[in-house]
Chains A and B, each alone.
Chain A
Amino acid sequence: MSSIDYSRELSVIEGKPALREIDDLIAKPLETKPNIKFFIGLGITLTMLAIGVIAIGLSFYYGTGLWGNNNPVGWGFPIVNFVFWVGIGHAGTLISAILFLLRQKWRNGIARFAEGMTIFAVMTALIFPLIHVGRPWLAGYLMPYPNQHSLWVNFTSPLLWDVFAVSTYFTVSFIFWYVGLIPDFAVLRDRTKTKIKKAIYSVFSLGWRNSNRHWQHYEMVYLVLAGFATPLVLSVHTIVSFDFAVSILPGWHTTIFPPYFVAGAVFSGFAMVQNVLIVIRKVFNYEHIITIDTLEKMNKIIVLTGTLVGYAYAMEFFIAWYSGVQAEQFTFVNRAFGPYAWAYWIMITCNVVFPQLFWSKKIRRSIPVMFVIAVFVNVGMWFERFVITVTSLSRDFLPSSWAYYTPTLTDFGILIGSFGFFFTFVLLFSKTLPVVSIAEVKAVVDGSQPSHEGH
């Protein structure tokens, strides 16, 4: 066996680029005019967004009867999509906070983009509860404020916990993102030649001077925010799962839901980040910053969380049998072999079977294969939420109230619109802000930290 020196740290940025080259590369999309490909992409996402806007407009005009939601299945597509999109956001916070606390340097290249995707995903997710309430203009009442009815919100309801969890999550993610952007705005401010851009960057950089007396507190605030965001990201999908788990419906009323939902959220989030980053690193020539090693590490997280999710699927069946609760047992047999068996097996194939291919190093490092698997994971995770929400609702305790749920064209229109909304923001973000953190990448380039000779 040849001996490998495991104490040597692998470089996370390939090729030891000069610091000014990093500036040039990351600022390039901001300093050049968008090309025709960008506009084609934007055209596609805006068309999707327009479909969604029309579908939502029709829903407001004619009412939510346009949707497939029926009497037992009151939650249908809106809640499925909400949970899906909130889940997508989780990868960003995991990368920016948890991997930061674990001192994973490879995160520095992908953190900014993933955080951006968190913010857009949560914004997309928030559309769904708003339209699902049917009267979105009354959503202000969700906030506990002294109103003229002198009524307060119900603090014991998981749905209200959700309001607090998701809004806190959005705010904290946004702050985290902005704090990370401050030094980069200063870099752009000192680079730019045009007056208007300079004014904008000056305002957003708040007057950042790269002073070490500031860096000292800046690093502390980053640590503190990461420390807060870590339990926060775990709490958000936990509380989303409480929406289900606190009810008494068979198939929902289980204690495995919080960890199972969090693992699923990270799983789908990483797949989405993977998909987008593969495109971004190719288009913007970031191959040496977002390296194949980084992608491989993300694949390892995908296979880990995918296996966790698979374990949860199996454990649900075991507990249904072991608990001896008849309704619970029926629900799970119904999931796998009932009218929604097609959805269940799509979910199992995409979430449990395909990610296992990542055990092979060759597949883990093959970009086309990982792209396809990540797409499968996203499809599978969407179906997971569909299976959980719809199968439990459509067949509950009373056979007389069972009904099959069929989504309508309007439902699909809104779903397409949500993807359009999300990717429009992603595209605009990629052209207006540095999609890779300049300061963080500089700090992990080989030779950027002092060698501490004599220490």
Chain B
Amino acid sequence: MNKKYLYGGVGLFDSPDDIIKAASETSEKGFKKFDVHTPYPVHGMDSAMKLKPSKLAYFSLVFGLTGTFSALALMYWTSSIDYPVIIGGKPFFSFPAYVPIMFELTVLLAAVMTVVTLISIFFKFPNISHPLHDTQYMKAVSSDRYGICIEPDENHTIEEIELFLKSLGAKDITKIYYDDEELKYKNVILQPKFLLFLALIAVIVSGATYFSLNKLMFMQPFNWMREQAKVIPQESSAFFTDGFGMRMPVEGTVARENLPYLFKNQPEEAGKFLINPLEANEENLNLGKKKYDIYCSPCHGYFGEGDSRLRGQFPNPPSIHSEKVRNWSDGRIFHVVTEGQNIMPSYSTQLTNNERWATILYLRVLQRSFNAKESDLR
């Protein structure tokens, strides 16, 4: 058996009056480390022990206000800045409608954090290896008796404490020792068992979060609205001999606004025979600007100077303000947009015929703005 380390001396009392008297005498006698243990809070004990009022409520105030303002900040940021949506014609920042949630989050944060603070900071819990645990003394005070526990300090030895307890009229006076286990891990937080427990909790919580947000949310037990008894595009089907679910269009079918291009690999002929069917009015130019900004500007730049925004991931194209391009006919440019040229791909699937022509109109505007004549300045 190892040498045991002393914790303190304890004594028991039978009535609340006795324990109040004992507590006030103990605190007057100048014992620094003493505590009173009662099965329920006894009125007047705090003043008998000369305890200062609990400061817990200040924490609640701070946490509560944090809840209020973080709720307000969240709602302000999400509905006024990050993704403003008009709801019922009300302003993006509709304060009266935010009050309920501000209140709820105030209560939520204050309540949760106050209890967390109480347990972890004020009680220093969880701690199930205190020397008083599993003693006859603890069993008595958790049921029907009132106890006082005094720890020795520089002015009082354990013998003096026992004598003092006897003079108070305490019964069942005993000494309390530390267990070996308790000494080994002074800091309960560092116990390997507890650390393992924490790690387990962390794995479970993060696993459950991952599962519920990334898997569970997309698991659909009975998704019959999506899985219906019909063939959807790209599906195979045993009904037709070729195994395709989709049917080929009748030969010669042409998509709307996408007449087949007649001048494949014939740029010069295209330049000669194709004529821009669109008028240079505001509507067409706006359409052209829109399409140009979407499809052309990433490489050619907003003003066609070849100032690519792709940071060198593709070679920069030449400027469209060159003599060569300015002298090209609309049809010749249409050919480039439709078939692509060098590294530039074809845009025939992204832009309809009319959109290509409108883009060319806008391109002409850009060219003219860079090479304005004297007469344009008027």
Contacts and interface: CB of A to CB of B under 8 A. Distances in A.
A203 B128 contact: yes
B90 A218 contact: no
B105 A164 contact: yes
B255 to A, nearest CB: 32
A213 interface: yes
Contact of B43 (A156, A447, A449): A449
Interface in A72-91: none
B57 interface: yes
B115 A175 contact: yes
B111 A171 contact: yes
Chain A CB count within 10 A is highest, among B35, B37, B101, B141, for B101
A145 to B, nearest CB: 8
Nearest to B116: A175
A2 B328 CA distance: 119
A209 B130 contact: yes
A118 to B, nearest CB: 14
A156 B90 contact: yes
Interface in B122-166: 122-123, 125-130, 132-133, 138-139, 141-144
A447 B40 CA distance: 13
B112 interface: yes
Chain B CB count within 10 A is highest, among A203, A447, A449, for A449
B17 A152 contact: no
Contact of B57 (A158, A224, A232, A452): A224
Interface residues of B, number: 75
B132 A212 contact: no
Nearest to B224: A63
A168 B130 CA distance: 34
Interface stretch (B45-53, B238-246, B353-361): B45-53
B35 A218 contact: no
A61 interface: yes
A301 interface: no
B142 A221 contact: no
B37 A212 contact: yes
A205 B39 CA distance: 14
Contact of B123 (A187, A206, A449): A206
B254 interface: no
A87 to B, nearest CB: 18
Contacts of B114: 221, 224-225
Interface string B30-61: 00000111111111111001010010110010
A179 B117 CA distance: 12
B42 A212 contact: yes
A144 B74 contact: yes
B111 A220 contact: no
Contact of A211 (B37, B42, B110, B118): B37
Contact of A60 (B37, B82, B133, B221): B221
Contact of B41 (A186, A209, A212): A212
B16 interface: yes
Interface string A212-236: 1111111111011100110110010
Nearest to A202: B128
Given A206-B119, A453-B17, A213 B35 contact: yes
B259 interface: no
A257 to B, nearest CB: 14
A187 B40 CA distance: 11
Interface stretch (B211-219, B329-337, B338-346, B369-377): B211-219
A161 B100 contact: yes
Interface in A207-266: 207-221, 223-225, 228-229, 231-232, 235, 239, 242
10 contacts: A138-B217, A160-B101, A202-B128, A209-B132, A216-B46, A232-B104, A442-B40, A447-B16, A449-B42, A453-B17
Interface of A: 18-20, 23, 60-61, 135, 137-138, 140-141, 144, 150-152, 154-158, 160-161, 164-165, 168, 171-172, 175-176, 179, 183, 186-187, 189-191, 202-203, 205-221, 223-225, 228-229, 231-232, 235, 239, 242, 439-440, 442-443, 447-453
Given A160-B101, A223-B57, A439-B40, 19 more contacts: A20-B144, A137-B216, A137-B220, A150-B83, A152-B82, A155-B75, A155-B79, A179-B115, A190-B139, A207-B129, A210-B39, A210-B141, A213-B51, A217-B123, A218-B41, A228-B60, A228-B107, A235-B107, A448-B16
